[in-house]
Structure 1
Amino acid sequence: MSSKAWRQERDTPSLSEVFRTIAVGGGVTPFRRFLSFVGPGYLVAVGYMDPGNWATSLAGGAAFGYTLLFVALLSNIMAILLQSLCARVAVASGRDLAQACRDAYPRWVSIPLWIFAELAIIATDLAEVIGTAIGLNLLFGIPLEMGSDAGGGRILR
């Protein structure tokens, strides 16, 4: 990519305070090398398909049936597409999506994008808290108000 594509040039890598390579060790068998990546991969997979999302999907599926199943499938396909595009931007440019937007667009475009991203984060966290409350209610009969406190916030009070 040409250097004229960005409004600001970067001399340091993205998140330079944590940017480094993890030594796997010399002479390690391919299986042990594979296992060194399984742990972080498992953490990412659990973070993406966590119990809060499943609880919300089960409760909604009981009410809306196959309509919700289609919406869940479509949203997961879109999430996979967007995550792969973000990964490609990061690999090609060395910037994460927020940095790429800030460096490629003028300030009057970057600020609304930042606000929309913050609103999306809030909506996602709200769904996590409510999903955890519903999951605890379904599994253990804990009232929704108490389950929302266990989910990390006091949203339902």
Structure 2
Amino acid sequence: AERVNNGTRYPANCDKPHNFNAVAVYRPSLRFSLSLNFTYSTGRPVTQPYGRALINGVFVPIYVNRNQERIPDYHRLDFSMNFDPDPAKVKRFQSSWIFALYNVYGRRNAYSVFYRLNPLANADGYKLAIFGTVFPSLTYNFKF
């Protein structure tokens, strides 16, 4: 029986050996707070085709080693501003507004690698980016 990766160990699909998160909060007044959140992680492992074969008139990718390549590292910076209209008052109902920017510097973080089979060359890899631009949001919180 054939064994995966010829029986040798390989990194799991979720293997990300490095994860780093940092948060900074600044409160210039009781009504306002500003925060930054930085996230970094090592790219996850992927299996890359090393060649192709023509079998029954169809090009089939050839894989050698399982999960021996990695997609580029993931990182992003998020910003948020919180506004609390009446922070000093203790009352039955409370509300706040939050304006946020996800991925402030617009990093195109790759999540997976997909391959297109080119009949004149080996498989071409292209990346799928998730939220590859700045993503703004506005939130209204209401507590009762």
TM-score by length of 1: 0.19
Q: Which has the higher contact order (CA 8 A, sep 6+)?
A: 1
Which is strand-richer, 1 or 2? 2
Q: Which has the larger radius of gyration?
A: 2
TM-score, length basis structure 2: 0.20
